[in-house]
Structure 1
Amino acid sequence: MSKQKRLVLLSLLTGLGLMIIKFVAYFLTASNAIFTDAAESIVNVIASSFAFYSIYLAAQPKDNNHPYGHGKVEFFSVFLEGGLIFIAGSIILVKGFYNIFFPSTLSNLEEGIGLVSVTALINFVIGFYIMKRGRALGSLTLEADGKHLQVDAYSTIGLVVGLILMKLTGLKWIDIAISFALGSFILYNGYKLLRQSVGGLMDESDVDLVKEVVQVLQENRHTDWIDIHNLRVQRYGNELHVDCHLTLPNYYSLTKVHDEISILDKIVNTKMSIETEFFIHADPCLPECCSYCQVKDCPIRSKEFTVEIEWQVENVTANRKHFLS
């Protein structure tokens, strides 16, 4: 079993166990706030179940029908998780409104507080571990799953503080107020996951990822690489797909062009924390490139070198050579 699958299985089993504990706490106390927390745990179990399948599917090799692999299923997994969180938040708010007019009788608060406090601690530790490992493995599904567990832990901590306050003051309306606050918090986090997944499914550019690629190129550039432009970066699961135009001296042989492209490809794959597939279009240099070309002893130079152009997101992603900027 792969590392990703083991981590998702850990999340699934943890979520299932904590869900049972939270519902026990709810039946002991009849607390609307604890029901809120228990309802979100159902989402954790369903989302982790689908995450397990999506990790399996994303790991499948490329085929004729999926030449870029199956990694985009992770965006769908994040979409499902965000949607379920959003639905859970909506249900929690509806139940909160219901209990304004039909309040429930609370009991055994000490036992309920103790049980959900334990679940908060376990959720935070497991969520932090899964999210950290997900980033290291380049898995959006694991990152989302770990973040969801941490969000669950934060909401449970808020719930415990509110229940303790209610116990001390005797103000029963605090229970409903907590459910409204947590329901709104859960809705917001569901929206953020939905936004992230839709952006990924529509190939929205990841600005931080593009910056990382450009920084690697700038720090490891060769004098032969006159400019790089029309750079595009897309993420498919735990792989990156990068394409760009690389300007090289126009007198280079096809073999030399191939060697330079291979060097660039190797550098990016070595320096980036995620496997990268490069598609590079080689452009011949033009006389206008001479002013910023640093090739020594160039036999066709028509202008002196005058300025070094630093590769930044703005000029590397533009679909034009740098002298046209």
Structure 2
Amino acid sequence: MDKQKAALLSVFSNTALILFKLVAGVIMGSVSVISEAIHSGIDLLASIIAYFSIKQARKPADSDHPFGHGKFENVSGAFEAILIFLVAVMIIYEAIKKIITKGKIENIEAGLAVMLISAVVNLFISSKLFKVAKKTDSIALEADAMHLYTDVFTSFGVFLGLVVIKFTHIYILDPLIAIAVALMIIKASIDLTKKALCDLVDKSLPQEEIKVIEDIIKKYSQVTSYHKLRTRKSGDRREIDVHIRMENSTPLIDAHNLCNMIEEEIRKALPNSYITIHIEPEDEK
């Protein structure tokens, strides 16, 4: 499954879950179940954004975007994180209102069924999305997967809360559970924002990946030294720029072939890498 199809699968699953949760929440008068419906609604919007950002990011480089469109995925991830934060604030507001009005809930069995089904479905879909995101190195799809994975815990948390309410009739647990759900959502939004912004501000590749690049360059005895190694990430694309020094007497064709070998080995170790190597004579200062 490619990442665009995976994003589309997320759109369909979220649409179905929203309908189930919303109907059950309204029938029950449960703010925790309705908060989960709202959460899934934001996830649906995030899935749609992820789908179109992935589609945009796949476009080849052009005159206006000479380095490609990969950062559309990073923008999508940051925007999704903001949406998640806003829905958490909205859930907390509704929960506080429910505490003040001291509302009761009915038909708890419907909520139990919907929450359990939701947790199982989201666990299955998020696992698939994480697998595709890791394979394709897609930040937008990873953000979408993280949303759904958060839903697994929040849905199961609401499920357990409803079980307790059913047997104890302590109805204030309903809005308290909703607030707990919201706090988990806020934590997820902060983590996603940090991850998305790292690439938007051109942070270097992780140290373990930089070490891979350095080890490959050092393997070649023809390279006397290297410097000005610069790296960054754009969507699933790694951009690598490095200056290497070689013996003054090295023929141009040999230098060219060596650069090709280094680039090919880096691409094998770090797929989807775009590499620029600048050659300098050994005695250049």
TM-score by length of 1: 0.83
Secondary structure, counterpart of 2:232 in structure 1: strand
1:174-213 matches, within 5 Å, as: 174-207=173-206, 210-213=207-210
Query: Does the CA contact (< 8 Å) of 1:217 and 1:268 recur in 2?
Result: no
Report the equivalent of 1:300.
Answer: none
Q: 2:50 and 2:220 mapped to 1: Cα distance?
A: 42
Query: Does the CA contact (< 8 Å) of 2:81 and 2:190 recur in 1?
Result: yes
The Cα of 1:283 is off from its aligned counterpart by 2.7
Of 261, 267, 283, which residue of structure 2 is paired with 1:269? Answer: 267
Report the equivalent of 1:125.
Answer: 124
Q: 1:118 and 1:154 mapped to 2: Cα distance?
A: 12
- Which deviations, in whole Å up to 9, do the C-alpha atoms of 1:240-280 show, x marking residues without a partner? 111112122222122221111111001011222x2111011
Of 235, 258, 265, which residue of structure 1 is paired with 2:233? Answer: 235
The Cα of 1:182 is off from its aligned counterpart by 0.9
Report the equivalent of 2:76.
Answer: 77
Query: Does the CA contact (< 8 Å) of 2:20 and 2:114 recur in 1?
Result: yes
1:142-291 matches, within 5 Å, as: 142-207=141-206, 210-218=207-215, 221-272=219-270, 274-286=271-283
The Cα of 1:174 is off from its aligned counterpart by 1.2
The Cα of 1:92 is off from its aligned counterpart by 0.5
1:43-54 matches, within 5 Å, as: 43-54=42-53
Query: Does the CA contact (< 8 Å) of 2:204 and 2:233 recur in 1?
Result: no
Secondary structure, counterpart of 2:263 in structure 1: helix
Give the AA of the match of 1:202.
V
Query: Does the CA contact (< 8 Å) of 1:21 and 1:116 recur in 2?
Result: no
The Cα of 1:26 is off from its aligned counterpart by 0.3
- Which deviations, in whole Å up to 9, do the C-alpha atoms of 1:215-262 show, x marking residues without a partner? 254157212223333222211222211111212222212222111111
Give the AA of the match of 2:41.
I
Secondary structure, counterpart of 1:226 in structure 2: strand
Secondary structure, counterpart of 1:283 in structure 2: strand
CA distance 1:227–1:166, shift in 2 (3 Å): farther
The Cα of 1:211 is off from its aligned counterpart by 1.7
Query: Does the CA contact (< 8 Å) of 1:248 and 1:285 recur in 2?
Result: yes
Report the equivalent of 1:295.
Answer: none
Query: Does the CA contact (< 8 Å) of 2:91 and 2:179 recur in 1?
Result: yes
Structure 1 stretches of 4+ with a deviation exceeding 3 A read: none
- Which deviations, in whole Å up to 9, do the C-alpha atoms of 1:44-75 show, x marking residues without a partner? 11111111111111111110110000010001
Counting matched residue pairs gives 284
Query: Does the CA contact (< 8 Å) of 1:61 and 1:70 recur in 2?
Result: yes
Report the equivalent of 1:112.
Answer: 111
Higher helix share: 2
Report the equivalent of 1:293.
Answer: none
Higher Cα Rg, which structure: 1
Secondary structure, counterpart of 2:60 in structure 1: coil
Report the equivalent of 1:38.
Answer: 37
Give the AA of the match of 1:171.
I
- Which deviations, in whole Å up to 9, do the C-alpha atoms of 1:84-124 show, x marking residues without a partner? 10000010111111112113220011121111110110001
Query: Does the CA contact (< 8 Å) of 1:54 and 1:77 recur in 2?
Result: yes
Q: 1:112 and 1:106 mapped to 2: Cα distance?
A: 10
Secondary structure, counterpart of 1:105 in structure 2: coil
Query: Does the CA contact (< 8 Å) of 2:24 and 2:33 recur in 1?
Result: yes
Structure 1, unaligned runs of 5 or more: 288-320
- Which deviations, in whole Å up to 9, do the C-alpha atoms of 1:19-58 show, x marking residues without a partner? 1111122012111111111110110111111111111111
Query: Does the CA contact (< 8 Å) of 2:227 and 2:244 recur in 1?
Result: yes
Q: 1:259 and 1:142 mapped to 2: Cα distance?
A: 37
